[in-house]
Amino acid sequence: MENSDNMTSPGSTTEEVEGTLSRVGNSVLSVALIGTDEGRRRQIATALSGLQGSTTREFSAYPQLDDVPRLLKGDYDVIIVELDGNPEHALDLVENICGNSNATVMVYSAQVSPEMLVRCMRAGAREFLSQPFTPTSIAEALVRASVRRPVSGIHKKALGKLIVFVGAKGGSGVTTVASNFAISLAKESGQNTVLIDFNLPMGDAALELGVNSQYSTVNALEHFEQLDSNFLSTLLVKHSSGLSVLAAPDKYTEVQPSRASIERLLSVVRGDFQYVVVDAGARFGPSFKELFDESSTIYLVVQVGITDLRNANRLICNLFRSNENKLQVVLNRFTSNVMGLDDSTITKALTVPVSWKIPNDYSSARSAQTKASPLALDDSPISRIIKQMSRVACGLPAVAEVKKRFLMFG
């Protein structure tokens, strides 16, 4: 078993290791991170999030041994297990995983004895990650894992990036922001992009974009066992911008999606699209946790008001604690010092800094509604911020603001 803390090459940089990681196997490494200590788990998750060539799903509790087959259905290349929460169960878990999959298993601990290292090695663990958990040391461990992958997994198709928009409460403007972000993302990235309306049963994404669809998200969820790429293609409608849309139903339709149906839909759609944007409305049921766990970015849309900020605080401190490293707060319809709340007061109320502020530009929003044309297709203060959001999301540099210059001619 290799100790990643002792494997750092002299003079190597995170960028160099990332370059190696992106070349080895020519595909993305999927990582499952299992740890009960939130602080240490977040340290590793943060280090992983800074690396290109890997996608991570976090688990805040150890699965039971009977649940290992379900875990392995995720087809993870790397599974990282914390030892400290329950060392004996962790070792049993490592041995069970190693005996039933080709995944590279790594372990981590605040401190470990030589005897425990030997036991980890005998259980099948290939790497021991020790503190501090740096992007460089973890990237090098992932490179070694990539080299060990069986040939059958080298050309595994990378899943598309999942980006979820959710509101602190109803009426926060999630649909407007998500729909225009999706159009801007498709345009800026030049990649296949789809918008899924999960704001069931009464989502308005299709109305926001001015498209009509015969089928909906409900059709996909109710027939998930038959869902594949061909079936999915019949459910989608295309916007003139090139964005694909899986709309909410036109009529009120009661639906209680199961976790299995959501998992299947996400798996199929992420296999077909580079970017999957989800309008989740203000849905926080147990089944929808899959959206948050699988996402690369969660945009929490909030308006500056007592109820919104209170709801946002509760969501951030409870529901999104395990996903805080991918959470970005978006203040929508923002006006400076509204209700006497300045930036420091808002940050204190939220417990995390605000990532984006979309201005309260009523005239542009009303004009877009009148013309039945998305805001993202016109130049306005709102569309400029959304464009910056989409560029950052697809790894492009932000566009510098062009300041008007007034010239005098004599």
Which CATH number is 2-153 given? 3.40.50.2300
Both structure tokens of 280? 């989740």
Mean pLDDT of 217-231: 91
pLDDT in tens, 269-319: 998 999 999 999 887 776 677 788 888 999 999 998 888 899 989 988 888
Query: Which pLDDT does position 238 carry in this prediction?
Result: 94
Query: Which pLDDT does position 294 carry in this prediction?
Result: 85
Please state, in angstroms and rounded to a whole number, the distance separating the CA atoms of residues 43 and 15: 19
Confidence of residue 373 (pLDDT cuts 50, 70, 90): confident
Residue 406 has pLDDT above 70, yes or no: no
Helix (H), strand (E) at residue 237 = strand 237-238
Whole-number mean pLDDT of the chain?
Answer: 83
pLDDT in tens, 23-49: 444 457 889 999 999 999 988 988 887
Instruction: Tell me which CATH homologous superfamily contains domain 161-393.
Output: P-loop containing nucleotide triphosphate hydrolases (3.40.50.300)
Residue 1 three-state SS:
coil
CB count in 10 Å sphere of residue 334: 19
Considering only CA atoms, give the Rg of the chain.
Answer: 23
Helix (H), strand (E) at residue 87 = helix 87-100
- Residue ranges, CATH 3.40.50.300, the chain: 161-393
Weakest mean pLDDT among 79-93, 174-188, 189-203, 252-266: 252-266
Task: Give me the phi and psi of 70, to 5 degrees please.
Answer: -65, -40
Both structure tokens of 352? 């995390």
Q: Which residue has the higher pLDDT, 228 or 245?
A: 245
Confidence of residue 172 (pLDDT cuts 50, 70, 90): confident
List, as one string, the DSSP characters of 302-361. E-SSHHHHHHHHHIIIIITGGGGGGEEEEEEEE-TTGGG--HHHHHHHHSS---EEEE--
Mean pLDDT of 90-118: 90
Phi-psi region of 86 (alpha: psi -120 to 50; beta: other; left: phi over 0): beta
Confidence of residue 12 (pLDDT cuts 50, 70, 90): very low
Which residues, including other chains, have CB under 8 Å from residue 405's CB and lie 6 or more apart? none
- Residue ranges, CATH 3.40.50.2300, the chain: 2-153
CB count in 10 Å sphere of residue 1: 16
